[in-house]
């Protein structure tokens, strides 16, 4: 039997190294899992950014790895720090950032990797902690300043990313998470699950103290949990414009895995926890924006429209009887009509989609103490999401990304306009008798 350390415990050799480092101003965390093709570029960009923008701050780079078998950790450990910047370092007396490379403990997932990063940041009493994804190909040294600058220079607690992304990159964000979060909490955070964030030391400590690290939140649900907590618990929030996000984007028809269930389920769970915060919010406002917003042109993301449509039709047929017990009859009738449309006219209208999402939120609340029921509900939502995504792809296929963004903003307006529908259902039908 292999024994693993419990969540919250650093490996002995890592704890000793952290104790030797003693203090840090900035901790930069890079969660990873089999990212040998991109990790070197990410590490070098971070190191350059720390040297260029925070040369007098004591910095620590933490690679929190989920058990890579492709040499990812070795690449991080061996990547030369500033190998072609020696003269700059000497001239300005810049101390290279120290590195901590460690496997994380706990359930497999991004959240457990973040837990290790937060633990080290709190132990080092860091003023700022930032995290960046390990599959980034578009990260530049400027990202370090854009994520950490609002924390260290402007007194913010939470920096959310704002990227230029291809119209088919981040379809869960575009069709559900962004518009629903905006409508619920009244704050327009364009990438609530973007993956690259900045936190004050106080906020990192707050996250670390919460009892969620043995749940699905500690998997893919971590980003929406962090964003929602920052909003609802009164932390000072801004967004930083980072330019284009180019990473290992995935076709939504083929690469959902458990991500959909964990992210959407976490959002629905938080709706119950923060009901008192969102029930009276009826409009949204923008946040402060750090950095200079300009046009970037991200790489194309290829999607398989036929596979999405087939996934919608076959999945809905399979789940229809179950969904009849979860959704109002009028919604089933609408989805029946949508699923019967020919491929070249498939259209899932905004209002129908928004009410579908709110109906699932109410059903989740009703089932939230029934783990099997919640799991089945989230699985049953996937084909409907594929249908809505296919409808969006059809509508925007010939549009440039900036025009497709207007379609997403239109959807956000409908989410806000349909909030009274959510409130009526939430308070009249959301609880079991």
Q: Which two tokens stand for residue 322?
A: 């179950």
Q: How far is CA 316 from the centre of its chain?
A: 27
Name every residue whose Cβ is closer than 8 Å to that of residue 361 and which is 6 or more positions away in sequence: 268, 271, 422, 426
pLDDT exceeds 70 at position 252: no
Residues pairing with 159 in the sheet: 198, 238
Q: Which residues of 301-315 are buried (b: 16+ CB within 10 A; e: fewer)?
A: bebeeeebbbbbbeb
CATH superfamily, domain at 12-290: Spore Coat Polysaccharide Biosynthesis Protein SpsA; Chain A (3.90.550.10)
pLDDT in tens, 67-102: 899 999 999 998 865 555 554 554 455 678 899 999
β 98-103/128-131 pair status: unpaired
Q: How confident is the model at residue 337 (pLDDT cuts 50, 70, 90)?
A: very high
Q: Give the start-to-end residue ranges of the domains of the chain.
A: 12-290, 305-427
> What does DSSP say about strands 98-103 and 59-65: parallel, antiparallel, or unpaired?
parallel
Q: Beta partners for 98? A: 60
What confidence score (pLDDT) does residue 293 get?
A: 78
pLDDT band at 256 (very low <50, low <70, confident <90, very high): confident
**Do 109 and 133 meet the contact criterion of CB atoms below 8 Å apart?**
no
Residue of 363, 385, 383, 359 whose CA lies nearest to 374: 363
Query: 């260290």: which residue's tokens?
Result: 152
Determine the pLDDT at residue 90. 44
Q: Which residue has the higher pLDDT, 95 or 330?
A: 330
pTM over 0.85: yes
Of the candidate ranges 103-107, 230-234, 416-420, the one whose mean pLDDT is the lowest: 103-107
Q: Which residue has the higher pLDDT, 262 or 6?
A: 262
Which runs of E-coded beta strand occur in 170-259?
Answer: 187-188, 197-200, 237-244
């Amino acid at each position: 039997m292999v024994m693993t350390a419990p969540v919250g415990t650093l490996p002995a050799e890592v704890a000793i190294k952290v104790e030797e480092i003693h203090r840090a101003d900035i901790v930069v965390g890079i969660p990873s899992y089999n990212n040998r093709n991109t990790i070197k570029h990410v590490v070098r960009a971070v190191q350059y950014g720390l040297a260029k923008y925070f040369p007098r701050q004591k910095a620590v780079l933490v690679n929190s790895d989920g058990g890579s078998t492709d040499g990812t950790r070795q690449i991080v450990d061996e990547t030369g720090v500033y190998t072609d910047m020696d003269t700059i370092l000497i001239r300005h007396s810049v101390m290279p950032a120290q590195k901590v490379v460690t496997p994380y403990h706990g359930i497999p997932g991004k959240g457990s990797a973040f837990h290790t990063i937060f633990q080290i940041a709190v132990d080092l009493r860091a003023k700022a902690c930032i995290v960046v994804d390990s599959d980034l190909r578009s990260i530049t040294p400027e990202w370090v300043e854009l994520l950490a600058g609002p924390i260290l220079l402007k007194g913010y607690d939470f920096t959310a990313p704002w990227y230029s992304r291809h119209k088919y990159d981040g379809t869960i964000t575009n069709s559900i998470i962004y518009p629903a979060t905006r409508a619920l909490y009244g704050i327009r955070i364009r990438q609530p699950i973007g993956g690259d964030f900045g936190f004050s030391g106080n906020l990192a400590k707050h996250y670390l103290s919460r009892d969620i690290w043995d749940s699905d939140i500690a998997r893919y649900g971590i980003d929406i949990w962090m964003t929602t907590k920052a909003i609802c618990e009164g932390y000072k929030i801004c967004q930083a414009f980072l330019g284009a996000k180019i990473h290992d984007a995935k076709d939504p028809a083929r690469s959902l895995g458990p991500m959909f269930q964990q992210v959407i389920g976490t959002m629905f769970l938080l709706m119950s926890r923060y009901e008192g915060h969102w029930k009276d919010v009826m409009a949204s406002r923008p946040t402060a924006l750090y950095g200079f917003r300009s046009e970037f042109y991200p790489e194309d993301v290829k999607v398989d429209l036929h596979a999405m449509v087939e996934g919608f039709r076959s999945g809905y047929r399979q789940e229809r009887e179950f969904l009849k017990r979860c959704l109002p009859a009028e919604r089933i009738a609408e989805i029946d009509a949508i699923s019967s449309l020919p491929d070249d006219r498939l259209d899932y209208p905004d209002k129908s989609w928004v009410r579908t999402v709110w109906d699932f939120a109410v059903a989740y609340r009703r089932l939230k103490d029934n783990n099997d029921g919640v799991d089945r509900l989230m699985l049953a939502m996937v084909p409907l999401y594929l249908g809505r995504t296919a409808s969006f792809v059809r509508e925007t296929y010939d549009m440039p990304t900036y025009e497709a963004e207007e379609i997403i903003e239109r959807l956000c307006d409908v989410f806000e306009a349909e909030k009274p529908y959510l409130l009526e259902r939430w308070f009249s039908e959301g609880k079991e008798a």
